[in-house]
């Protein structure tokens, strides 16, 4: 049936014998081979699933829910059916994907997230809950999914995302469900809903038995002392729970003053880190923490660093991990002790004491099955309480000293009081009921209306069946009607005569067109206000896209800080008084290109569409600033001091890329916009490709092991880097971006950066070399423009050679003479190996004193053996003139010879 050595898959019965008893026997045989003893709750759940029932599994963390899910998937494959495993976050999807690859073989497991698609037609698919919800909305009962595993089902109550956990329970009657959570609470209503949907009985399996019991403790000692004492008591690994990324990073830094590892342990860590590239601006700090035995784990880190911390923790090399409360959603870090630094957090609206569910979800990660007899949950008392206790201890029994104590007060802001009674309540209470978060959006409506059989009736049924009361359902219906009218008015949905098929989604939109952002419809309408012929069209379109995305608050505050610093210097130099300076600084805001156009058009849009409600437009310039100034990811991080939040910038740029691809209609995408799409796609993948690299490596291993028995299996080799050169259009965009990074550096007289971007034919290009070349240009012209007009594709000529590309960039000087040119070559073999093009500067000089215009027919694209949009003869002549042989060009760079004519 399948050719693989994955042990669980090999236990499948023959296709001719797939009755429930045989399937159960095969799975139990696998369990016995693994020397695993099933808990009563696991046995009950597996028996119910094999018997064809839906199952709601509500058991503590670490009680083997994943094994039950594997049994469910095993049943699906035995019956030649399909299965989907959903998780709330991409990191957890990745983890489950690799785990299922090991169990069932990489050839038969796929993954689908908003950023990656791997083997998506496999019989077993891992995806985020939103992905499954969107598929279910588009196809409903026609979706070819037989078995559905919804992990971390308590996300059903999430204020923003809970609707994605509800949609499959409303739209997939053809499926059998396994819902899993450690903190489900009352499950009866979900059992009734599943039985009504699928027509199958639903079993609720509950247990409070933990494989590793927990000890709970309230500590009134300083945090650093608590950690050191826990390490001395061998209660590590310790996960220190913080509720902001900043506090997690600061705590990791604080722990550097104490040794938690021996010299031999540190040596082992250093060996484990050998060869790993800490090549981002924050990489050195992450490496320093890890070598000390301290891990850092939060969403602000690049994925590859988080994955590395998880791997080292799994090998028992880290004594302490400072992280955020994401531990509660299945981050794969095995730990013995969970240490809470506080018991309140910001819930998206206000600061408040942790919910019972949040506290128990995070606490449940303590204790490693097979390693620990007991796990530990420790909660710190508030800092001011700890300090006051120390002051009292220092005063002793002396009444005079006690009267002199100046007690510390709690913070006036950013604080919610907790004490030991708060702690005890969270330990003993039952999780709160899961509340429905159903809501209607443009994305939901467009997905449902895309159904081949028509979606109006399906949309009505969806609202009628949602898990809310009559009043809420009535309001959802009213919202759906308003959104529908707005889609018709925008031309996204067309109303046609019944004989012609009735309602349909506009066929001119790309197949993956998406309105998943709440204001995507505004974007669609506002793009009509832009002039595609304008040199700034692509940048203005990018600004429109950014205006509908959530604000990356930290990045915007850093931009504003930079503007204030610059303005303050100007005001001081002008002799402005202090109070007036402060008043002027208060008027500043972070960059908002086209702010008046965006605000005016949005107000008109909101007046026409009442459903907009509390939504607001958010103009900003993060992606635009990067693209307009040709900055790399690392340069932008350093400019604004975002080292601790590299992951935030990466996620934001990923959202920008997805919106450019899916929410901007293809007719609105000019050549310059397509180049921008390629740029952001390449940038996001280039910063962190660890996910796909690991999957490719796993596939190589599986293929090698699956070699025919009569021959030797070939040894597995690391996967090759992505073939940049195969995507000619994309590679052209990358090359042009490097050219303009070089010109930007010249424009600002930053010769050191320019020398770092390009190299000479001999391999060495110094800042002095670049300054010598630029001096002649700046004698002719006062500046070197790098605006959108200077970037026009007609000023770039590219010739594709056998082993190298030859690039001629005409400089758009202030007088429009176009008599200066920069010429480069790009070695294709080197670009493929490094994953990025490296420029070799051949010439930066005047065209022999001639005042020649750039050819009107030159373009930025590239065709085999021809100039990019220009004549092949002209391009070949330009390439020859560029001094490809290298010797003359190298001499010219050093001022030792005249540049080639």
Tell me the two tokens of residue 430: 């039952």
d(CA 139, CA 874): 54
Annotate 247-263 with DSSP letters as a single string. Answer: HHHHHHHHGGGS--S-H
The residue with greater pLDDT, 800 or 881, is 800
At residue 445 the predicted structure's pLDDT band, cuts being 50, 70 and 90, is confident
pLDDT tens digit sequence for 408-435: 899 988 899 999 999 999 999 999 999 9
Cβ atoms of 91 and 683 closer than 8 Å? no
Strand partners, 641: none
- Residue pair 93/108 in contact (Cβ under 8 Å)? The answer is no
Q: Quick check: helix, strand or coil at residue 115?
A: coil
How far is residue 490's CA from residue 671's CA, in Å, rounded to a whole number? 25
* Vertex 631: Cα angle to 745 and 815 (nearest 5): 45
DSSP-assigned beta bridge partners for residue 875 = none
Task: Supply the pLDDT for residue 399.
Answer: 83
Q: What 8-state DSSP symbol labels residue 667?
A: G
Question: What is the model's pLDDT at position 890?
Answer: 33
Backbone angles phi, psi at 746, to 5 degrees: -65, -40
Tokens 């690991």 -> residue: 694
Beta-bridge partner residues of 352:
345
Query: Residue 345: in which H helix or E strand, if any?
Result: strand 344-346
Residue that wins the pLDDT comparison between 676 and 886: 676
Predicted pLDDT of residue 788? 81
pLDDT, average across residues 37-44: 93
Measured N-to-C along each axis, helices 671-687 and 728-747 cross at an angle, to the nearest 10 degrees, of 90
- Measured CA to CA, the distance from residue 432 to residue 445 in angstroms comes to 31
Q: Is a pLDDT exceeding 90 seen at residue 456?
A: no
Which tokens belong to 527? Answer: 């793009």
Give the pLDDT score at 642: 92
Q: Is the peptide bond before 376 cis (omega within 30 degrees of 0)?
A: no
The tokens for 19 are: 């009755």
* Pair 704, 714: CB distance under 8 Å: yes
Q: Is the dihedral of CA 236, 241, 245, 246 positive or negative?
A: negative
Report DSSP state, residue 335. B
Dihedral pair phi/psi, residue 90, rounded to 5°: -60, -35
**pLDDT over 70 at 701, yes or no:** no
For CA atoms 198, 199, 203, 204, give the dihedral sign: positive
**Residue of 26, 114, 33 lying closest to 77 (CA atoms):** 26
Q: Over 50: is that where the pLDDT of 68 sits?
A: yes
* Residues found in the chain: 901
| Residue 710 banded pLDDT, cuts 50, 70, 90 | very low
Per-residue pLDDT at 329: 59
Residue 723, pLDDT score: 59
pLDDT digits (tens, 9 = 90+) for 819-829: 999 999 999 98
| 477, 482, 488, 489: CA torsion to nearest 10 | 180
Q: Tell me what pLDDT residue 804 has.
A: 92
Ranges 114-128, 291-305, 316-330, 720-734, most confident: 291-305
Strands 493-494, 504-505: pairing is antiparallel
DSSP letter (8 states) at residue 623: H
Choose among 360, 315, 352, 356: nearest CA to 333: 315
pLDDT at 637: 93
What are the pLDDT digits (tens) for 112-136?
Answer: 876 567 888 899 999 999 999 999 9
Least Cα distance to 871 among 764, 797, 774 occurs for 797
Task: Report the candidate in 528, 513, 451, 447 with the shortest Cα–Cα distance to residue 484.
Answer: 447
583 pLDDT exceeds 80?
Answer: yes
Q: How confident is the model at residue 514 (pLDDT cuts 50, 70, 90)?
A: low
Higher pLDDT: 901 or 492? It is: 492
Alpha carbons within 13 A on the beta-carbon side of 645: 20
Lowest mean pLDDT among 286-295, 298-307, 343-352, 686-695: 686-695
| CB contact burial 650-676 (16+ within 10 A = b; e otherwise) | bbbbbbbbbbbbbbbbeebbebbbbbb
pLDDT tens digits along 528-572: 999 999 989 999 999 999 999 989 999 999 999 999 999 999 999
User: SS3 of 800, please?
Assistant: strand
> Strand, helix or coil at 378?
strand
Name the average pLDDT for the chain.
83
**What pLDDT is stored for residue 856 in this prediction?**
37
pLDDT category of residue 878 using cuts at 50, 70 and 90: very low
Angle, in degrees to the nearest 10, between helices 578-586 and 553-573: 150
What gap in Å lies between CA 781 and CA 774, rounded to an integer? 10
d(CA 295, CA 321) in angstroms, rounded, equals 4
Characterize the bridge pairing of strands 493-494 and 796-800: unpaired
146 phi, psi to nearest 5 deg: -90, -40
Least confident of 432-441, 615-624, 762-771: 762-771
Q: Is the pLDDT of residue 473 over 90?
A: yes
Please tell me the distance from the alpha carbon of residue 2 to that of residue 14, in angstroms, as a whole number.
Answer: 11
């Amino acid at each position: 049936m399948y050719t693989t050595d994955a042990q669980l898959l090999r236990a499948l019965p023959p296709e001719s014998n797939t009755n429930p008893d045989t399937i159960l026997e095969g799975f139990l045989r696998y369990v016995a081979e693994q020397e695993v003893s099933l808990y009563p709750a696991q046995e009950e759940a597996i028996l119910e699933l094999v018997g064809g029932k839906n199952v709601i599994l509500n058991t503590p963390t670490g009680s083997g829910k994943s094994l039950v899910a594997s049994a469910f998937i095993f049943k699906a494959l035995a019956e030649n059916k399909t299965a989907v495993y959903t998780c709330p976050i991409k990191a957890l999807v990745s983890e489950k994907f690799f785990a299922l690859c090991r169990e069932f073989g990489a050839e038969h497991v796929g993954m689908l997230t908003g950023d990656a698609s791997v083997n998506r037609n496999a019989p077993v698919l891992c995806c985020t809950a939103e992905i499954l919800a969107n598929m279910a909305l588009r196809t409903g009962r026609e979706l070819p999914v037989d078995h559905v595993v919804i992990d971390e089902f308590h996300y059903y109550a999430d204020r923003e995302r809970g609707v994605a956990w509800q949609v499959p329970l409303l739209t997939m009657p053809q499926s059998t469900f396994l819902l899993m959570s450690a903190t489900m609470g009352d499950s009866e209503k979900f059992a009734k809903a599943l039985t009504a949907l699928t027509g199958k009985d639903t079993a609720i399996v509950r247990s409070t038995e933990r494989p590793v019991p927990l000890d709970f403790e309230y500590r009134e000692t300083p945090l650093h002392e608590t950690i050191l004492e826990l390490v001395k008591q061998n209660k590590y690994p310790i996960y220190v729970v913080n509720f902001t990324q900043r506090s997690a990073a600061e705590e990791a830094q604080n722990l550097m003053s104490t040794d938690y590892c021996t010299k031999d342990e540190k040596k082992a860590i250093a060996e484990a880190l050998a060869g790993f590239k800490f090549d981002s601006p924050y990489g050195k700090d992450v490496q320093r923490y890890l070598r000390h035995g301290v891990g850092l784990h939060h969403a602000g880190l690049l994925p590859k660093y988080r994955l590395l911390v998880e791997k080292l923790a799994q090998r028992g090399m880290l004594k302490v991990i400072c992280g955020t409360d994401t531990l509660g959603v299945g981050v794969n870090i095995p730990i013995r002790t969970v240490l809470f630094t506080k018991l309140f957090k910001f819930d998206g609206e206000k600061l408040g004491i942790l919910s019972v569910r949040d506290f128990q979800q995070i606490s449940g990660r303590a204790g490693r099955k097979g390693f620990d007899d007991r796990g530990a949950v420790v909660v710190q008392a508030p800092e001011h309480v700890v300090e006051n206790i120390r002051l009292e201890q220092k005063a002793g029994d002396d009444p005079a000293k006690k009267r002199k104590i100046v007690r510390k007060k709690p913070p006036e802001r950013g604080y919610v009081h907790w004490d030991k009674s708060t702690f005890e309540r969270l330990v003993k209470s039952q999780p709160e009921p899961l509340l429905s978060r159903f809501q209607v959006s443009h994305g939901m409506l467009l997905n449902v209306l895309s159904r081949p059989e028509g979606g109006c009736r399906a949309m009505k049924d969806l609202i009628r069946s949602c898990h809310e009361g009559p009043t809420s359902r009535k309001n959802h219906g009213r919202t759906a009607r308003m959104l529908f009218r707005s889609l018709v008015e925008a031309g996204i949905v067309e109303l046609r005569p019944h004989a012609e098929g009735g309602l349909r989604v506009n066929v001119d939109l790309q197949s993956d067109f998406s309105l998943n952002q709440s204001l995507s419809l505004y974007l669609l309408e506002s793009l009509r206000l832009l002039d595609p012929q304008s040199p700034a069209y692509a940048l203005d379109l990018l600004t429109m896209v950014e205006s509908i995305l959530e604000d990356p608050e930290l990045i915007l505050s850093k931009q504003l800080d930079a503007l204030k610093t610059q303005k303050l210097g100007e005001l001081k130099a002008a002799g402005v008084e202090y109070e007036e300076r402060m008043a002027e600084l208060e008027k500043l805001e972070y960059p908002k290109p086209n702010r008046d156009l965006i605000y005016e058009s949005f107000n008109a849009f909101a007046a026409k569409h009442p459903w907009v409600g509390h939504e607001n437009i958010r103009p900003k310039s993060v992606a635009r600033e990067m693209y307009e100034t040709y900055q790399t990811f690392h340069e932008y991080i350093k400019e604004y001091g975002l080292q601790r939040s590299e992951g935030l910038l990466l996620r934001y740029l990923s959202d920008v890329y997805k919106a450019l691809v899916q929410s901007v209609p293809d007719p609105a995408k000019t050549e310059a916009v397509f180049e921008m799409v390629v740029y952001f796609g390449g940038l996001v993948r280039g910063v962190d490709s660890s996910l796909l690299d690991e999957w490719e490596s796993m596939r190589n291993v599986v293929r090698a092991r699956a070699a025919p028995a009569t021959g030797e299996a070939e040894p597995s080799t690391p996967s090759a880097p992505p073939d940049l050169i195969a995507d000619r259009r994309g590679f052209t965009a990358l090359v042009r971006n490097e050219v303009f990074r070089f010109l930007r550096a010249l424009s600002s007289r930053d010769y050191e950066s320019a020398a770092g971007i390009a190299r000479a034919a001999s391999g060495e290009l110094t800042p002095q070399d670049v300054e010598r070349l630029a001096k002649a240009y700046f004698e002719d012209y006062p500046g070197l423009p790098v605006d959108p007009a200077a970037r026009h594709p007609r000023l770039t000529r590219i010739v594709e050679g056998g082993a190298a590309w030859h690039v001629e960039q005409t400089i758009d000087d202030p007088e429009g003479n176009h008599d200066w040119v920069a010429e480069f070559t790009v070695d294709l073999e080197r670009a493929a190996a490094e994953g990025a093009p490296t420029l070799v500067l051949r010439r930066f000089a005047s065209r022999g004193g001639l005042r020649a215009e750039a050819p009107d027919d030159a373009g930025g694209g590239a065709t085999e053996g021809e100039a990019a949009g220009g004549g092949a003869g002209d391009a070949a002549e330009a390439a020859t003139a560029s001094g490809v042989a290298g010797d003359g060009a190298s001499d010219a760079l050093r001022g030792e010879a005249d540049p080639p004519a």
